[in-house]
Structures are given as C-alpha cells and as structure tokens.
Amino acid sequence: MAKQKPTLTVPTMLLEAARFAKIESKFDEPSLYGINDGKAVGTYVEHKFVACLMDKFAMEGGNSALGIDLPSIEVDIKVTSVRQPQSSCPFKSARQKIYGLGYGLVVFVYAKTDDEKRRTSRLDMRHVIFIEKGKTADYQTTRGLRELLERDANTDDIVAFIQERNLPVDEIQAQNLAEELLQKKPAQGYLTISNALQWRLQYQRVIEQAGKVAGVQKVR
C-alpha cells in the first residue's frame, strides 16, 4: 500500500523552497545555456519547484482560473533576476493595490551565469523571500492612505488621493473604495505595484525589508 503523502502547508513549502534554492544554486542546466529571456527562466524554475513539491506532498496543482501556482496554500511563485527584480501579475481590480493581491508570494531572486566551455547555465539563488497575503499591497499607496485615515480623512480626501495616485478606477468605484477605507483601514503593504494592463510587481523593497518587518520573511 502506497504511503500517503503529507499535506502541503506554508511552513513546509518554505522549508522546501530553501532546500530547492540551495540545490539549484549548484546545478548546471544545459537547457538554459544562452537563454536571457526572464520568462523562460521563470517558467523553468516554477515548473521544477512545483514538481519537487508534488513529488513529496498531497497538493492541488496550479490553477489558471485563480492564476496562482499553489492554490491549496494560496501562494504564487515568482522568479526574477537580481539585476532587475520585478515580474508581472494578473490585474483583477484596483483594490489589490490597497488590500493586497489576495494570495502570498514566494519570490526566487537569481543571478544567472553561463559556462561557455561546458555550455551549461547556473542559477545562483541570491534571495528567497516569502510575502504573506496581507502584505502584498502597494507600499506608497497603503502608506499614504493609512496616514490620511490617521488624520481624520473623509471620503472626499480619499477620493482625491485615489485620483492623484491614478488608480485604475472610475468615479463610482473611487467613491465605493473611499467608503470601504473609512470602515477598513488597509495593512501596510511592501510591494511596489505599477499600473498596467497587468500589474508590474517590483521587489527591491521586500529584498531590503525581508526579516525586518512582520509578514516579509527571508527564507534564504
């Protein structure tokens, strides 16, 4: 009788992420030689890490409807070069910039080197960072809104702020958001999220703050 696999949890995923990064940093991969496309490198790492997890744990596979790699623990995998640590992310609503993406992120930050003689490539995993779901909002947006709310802002103040920040909302949505914010103060986020057809997530701040603030954890 086959031994039942343990259920994947966030803590076990993070232990595996640290282990995976350590092994991957010493692994020579011929298929990545000469490849400078960040998306191709990211897909390679994501698929390899998910395969490692599925080999050890009972877990749900990636869910394209939700758009995240590890839906059973509400975590998405992001892979980015240390030279420009950023990636894209599906846009759902402007609320994500204020209240977070709706899931956590495990971010692998690599430096890639090619060995011309052996025609192989190596990904040195410089950082592995976990950002809890509640900390995935935009840093400057949440900071500004929290300061406004602490200074007794009303709906007009908040709508003006939302418009100044060019959040992708119409007037009715801005008004609804302002009323929601008066009832529910946002947590401080730590991502930099740029407006686009897809969100553009930038990770420099979380690299700097990992291990120093609650909810942003340095895994490796």
Could you tell me if residue 33 is left (phi over 0), alpha (psi between -120 and 50 degrees) or otherwise beta?
beta
- Residue extents of the structural domains in the chain: 10-85+102-133+210-218, 140-183
Which residues fall within 8 angstroms of residue 29, CB to CB, at 6 or more apart?
Answer: 44, 120, 121, 122, 123
Nearest to 189 by CA among 119, 113, 95: 95
The amino acid that residue 127 corresponds to is: H
Q: What is the pLDDT of residue 38?
A: 80
Q: What is the pLDDT along the chain (220 residues), one digit of tens a residue?
A: 557 889 999 999 999 999 999 999 998 888 888 888 888 898 999 999 999 999 998 877 655 555 789 998 999 999 998 988 888 888 888 899 999 999 999 999 999 888 888 888 889 999 999 999 999 999 999 999 999 999 999 999 999 999 998 888 899 999 999 999 999 999 999 999 987 767 888 999 998 998 899 999 888 8
Token code pair at residue 187: 């947590």
Q: What is the pLDDT of residue 62?
A: 58
Token code pair at residue 77: 């995998």
**Strand residue runs (E) in the chain:** 28-29, 75-81, 86-89, 104-115, 120-131, 192-194, 199-202, 216-218
What class does CATH assign to 10-85+102-133+210-218? alpha beta
Q: What is the pLDDT of residue 92?
A: 84
Q: What is the pTM of this model?
A: 0.89
